[in-house]
């Protein structure tokens, strides 16, 4: 098992209208974690706790294997890149070039040629004050500046908000390239399902502050399927891991399952034909997950042995 | 190295299984030659829109089958495929296709003799096209 870059154990935070957590998670390095939840569900709070701009009310967080209860030391902070949901006001009156020079002072690993390359690619106007930039330009500057020091851990809080579809695609490419050449771990909070589909290895779900858990993206897509079986509905009622069944016509039943292989095996063994299968879209899966249908192999915390991620 | 793998999301077969069996066929059939450097795990995953966990699993499985080998720091290469391995694969691929054909025949209630005749006439047409045309 690889070392966890981030670990949270029983982390809670009281917010005005709700409690966030308890969150239990372990994030091995080198993966992309898509963090999904409605507005106000606690995604940004989670990211702020990882930056120590918000402190948990209870529980324990560790970075690269250390708890840093007296504050994350500068040399560790330098390994963490962050794109905030709302841009930082302190840089408002600086141009992209000036802001980069300021950041470079704090990040010894700052890679100016890489920063410039990204700004050119994104067409960020380097001599414009950041507050004068369009929302998309500002966003692109933020992403370039977060990547420039080659962070080991990259926290992206809705990085694509304000990006046009072309810039969005470029961002995906840039992040993919960064993942191919470096051993970056990315936590990506987003509302864009396609972003998760293209980038994430794991999906983390939080709903009204409640931590729903974390699952392998491909395992979700492999297991959650809609299956048309050549049998009456009654034959399928007792089966495990079934979300819903519906009789389509005489002798054909549509089933939504959270464990496709297992269902297929059972149907085969009972001599029932599988007429068709369809993969659920990620958004359909998340909707059902929020309703309480658990994915196979989900990492939730309580039942989990710390340090291992169960796979199906 | 671009690897022609086509994933079908709607299949009941898990992603890693689809990728694994296609990559295995490409290697054993010789379409990807011995010594070829495969894409890095992340690169391959990006190309297929799947996770690195899936690709790592495929590489590990094929490595333990002896079809791939990994050199620390350089990457994953296609290993030498033995002649007997290739023979077994050839035979299995044909057997599987024939099996499927017979299943189709049985599902539309073909008699054994009818299938045999059909098979022989297809063989004749494919291997001796000139004669077949002459007869028709």
- Per CB-CB distance under 8 Å, the chain B contacts of A228 are none
- Per CB-CB distance under 8 Å, the chain B contacts of A218 are 14-16, 50-51, 53-54
Q: Residue A157 in 3-state DSSP? A: strand
- Averaged pLDDT for residues A101-111: 93
| Residue A297 φ then ψ, to 5° | 75, 20
Cross-chain Cβ contact A261/B16 below 8 Å = no
The answer for A 274-303 residues in CB contact with B (under 8 A) is 274, 277-279
The chain B residues in contact with chain A (CB within 8 A) are 9-12, 14-16, 40, 42-43, 45-46, 49-54
Domains parsed from chain A with CATH numbers: 4-212 (3.40.50.300), 219-310 (no CATH)
Confidence of residue A210 (pLDDT cuts 50, 70, 90): very high
For tokens 């620390």, name the residue.
B72
Cross-chain Cβ contact A180/B40 below 8 Å = yes
- Per CB-CB distance under 8 Å, the chain A contacts of B53 are 31, 201, 216, 218, 311
Which residues, in sequence order, are CB contacts of B71 under 8 Å at separation 6+? Answer: B77
The pTM of the full predicted model, rounded to 2 decimals, is: 0.85
What whole-number distance in Å separates Cα of residue B75 and Cα of residue B3? 15
- Averaged pLDDT for residues A117-143: 93
Which residues, in sequence order, are CB contacts of A80 under 8 Å at separation 6+? Answer: A50, A51, A63, A72, A151, A152, A153, A154, A155
- Give just the sign of the alpha carbon dihedral A194, A220, A34, A291: positive
Contact yes or no for B22/B29 (Cβ under 8 A): no
- Per CB-CB distance under 8 Å, the chain A contacts of B47 are none
ipTM for the predicted complex comes to 0.82
- Per CB-CB distance under 8 Å, the chain B contacts of A216 are 51, 53
The answer to whether A260 faces chain B, any CB pair under 8 Å, is: yes
| A172 pLDDT higher than 70 | yes
| A59 pLDDT higher than 70 | yes
| B104 pLDDT higher than 50 | yes
Chain B: give the shortest CA distance to residue A74, in Å.
30
The two structure tokens encoding residue A307: 């340090």
Q: Residue B13 in 3-state DSSP? A: coil
Strand residue runs (E) in A105-167: 153-157
Relative to beta strand A225-229, strand A252-257 is: antiparallel
Question: Phi/psi zone of residue A159: left (φ > 0), alpha (ψ -120 to 50 degrees), beta?
Answer: alpha
Cross-chain Cβ contact B49/A197 below 8 Å = yes
Cross-chain Cβ contact B10/A279 below 8 Å = yes
| B16 pLDDT higher than 90 | yes
| Residue A271 φ then ψ, to 5° | 70, 25
């Amino acid at each position: 098992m690889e070392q966890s870059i981030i670990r949270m154990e029983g982390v809670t935070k009281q917010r005005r209208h709700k409690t966030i957590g308890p969150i239990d998670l372990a994030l091995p390095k080198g993966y992309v974690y898509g963090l999904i939840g409605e507005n106000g569900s606690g995604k940004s709070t989670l990211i702020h706790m990882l930056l120590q701009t918000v402190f948990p009310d209870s529980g324990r967080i560790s970075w690269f294997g250390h708890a840093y209860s007296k504050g994350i030391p500068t040399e560790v902070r330098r390994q963490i890149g962050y794109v905030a949901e709302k841009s930082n006001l302190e840089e408002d009156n600086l141009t992209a070039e000036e802001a980069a020079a300021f950041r470079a002072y704090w990040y010894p690993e700052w890679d100016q040629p890489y920063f410039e390359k990204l700004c050119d690619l994104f067409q960020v106007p380097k001599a414009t004050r950041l507050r004068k930039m369009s929302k998309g330009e500002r966003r692109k500057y933020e992403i370039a500046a977060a990547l420039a020091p080659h962070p080991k851990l990259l926290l992206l809080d809705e990085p694509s908000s304000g990006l046009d579809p072309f810039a969005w695609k470029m961002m995906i490419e840039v992040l993919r390239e960064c993942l191919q050449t470096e051993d970056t771990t990315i936590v990506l909070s987003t509302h864009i399902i396609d972003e998760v589909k293209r980038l994430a290895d794991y999906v983390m779900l939080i709903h009204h502050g409640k931590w729903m858990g974390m699952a392998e993206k491909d395992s979700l897509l492999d297991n959650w399927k809609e299956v048309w079986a050549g049998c009456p509905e009654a034959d399928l009622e007792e089966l495990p891991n079934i979300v819903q069944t519906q009789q389509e016509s005489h002798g054909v039943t549509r089933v939504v399952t959270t464990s496709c292989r297992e269902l297929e095996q059972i149907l085969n063994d009972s001599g029932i034909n599988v007429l068709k299968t369809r993969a659920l879209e990620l958004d359909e899966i998340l909707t059902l997950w929020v309703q309480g249908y658990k994915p196979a192999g989900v990492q939730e915390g309580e039942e989990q042995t710390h340090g291992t991620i169960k796979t199906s | 190295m671009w690897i022609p793998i086509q994933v079908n999301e709607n299949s009941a077969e898990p992603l890693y299984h689809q990728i694994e069996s296609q990559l295995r066929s490409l290697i054993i059939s010789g379409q990807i030659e011995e010594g070829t450097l495969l894409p890095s795990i992340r690169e391959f995953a990006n190309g297929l829109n799947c996770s690195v966990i899936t690709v790592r699993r495929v590489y590990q499985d094929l490595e333990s089958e002896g079809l791939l080998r990994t050199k620390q720091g350089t990457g994953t290469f296609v290993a030498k495929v033995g002649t007997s391995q290739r023979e077994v694969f050839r035979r299995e691929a044909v057997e599987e296709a024939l099996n499927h054909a017979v299943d189709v025949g049985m599902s539309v209630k073909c008699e054994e003799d009818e299938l045999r005749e059909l098979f022989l006439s297809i063989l004749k047409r494919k291997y001796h096209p000139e004669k077949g045309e002459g007869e028709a």
